[in-house]
Amino acid sequence: MPRYSEERRPAVVAKLLPPNNLSGIEAAEQEGISVATICKWRKEAREQGFCLPDAGAGRPAGWTARDKFPAMVETATMNAEEVVECCRRRGLYPEHIQAWRRDCEQAISLSQKERRREALEAKATHRARWSGKARNWAPVNVVSLNPDGEPHITPQNEAA
């Protein structure tokens, strides 16, 4: 298995980033490195927090949810000019970020509505479970691991 220099890996990974957005196959052909190695480097870079969209599917369409989220978080506190500059570096338009943010907000509100609906359905189908108090918070006087046997009192228990 060939060994690659420490400088070569970041240079190849940079070709996978926007604005180049090379696919793993294209980068492998250009660099003379196996596709499996390129894919491994891409995976490791993603785990380190780099946004590496899949180049084969087109610019914004190649971005996975895992890639979109950090881009949305990064641009959340930016003004309009900074967002445009950030998008330019990544090969995107600000409209992509806005659409992703809107989709994310809709998914969150949908999941909240779905959870509430499921809770209401559970209450309706199992009324006995939901009647009365949710918990009995009264302290228990005697706790026994062996309820059939005699309680064992030690000097520690008497002191308490």
Q: Cα–chain-centroid distance for residue 100?
A: 15
Type of residue at 160: A
| pLDDT for res 80 | 92
Confidence of residue 127 (pLDDT cuts 50, 70, 90): confident
12-68 residue pLDDT tens = 888 887 667 777 888 889 889 998 998 888 888 877 766 666 554 445 666 778 778
pLDDT at site 44: 85
Give the pLDDT band of residue 113 (cuts 50, 70, 90).
confident
The more confidently predicted of residues 26 and 154 is 26
Residue 10: how many CA atoms within 13 Å on its side-chain side? 3
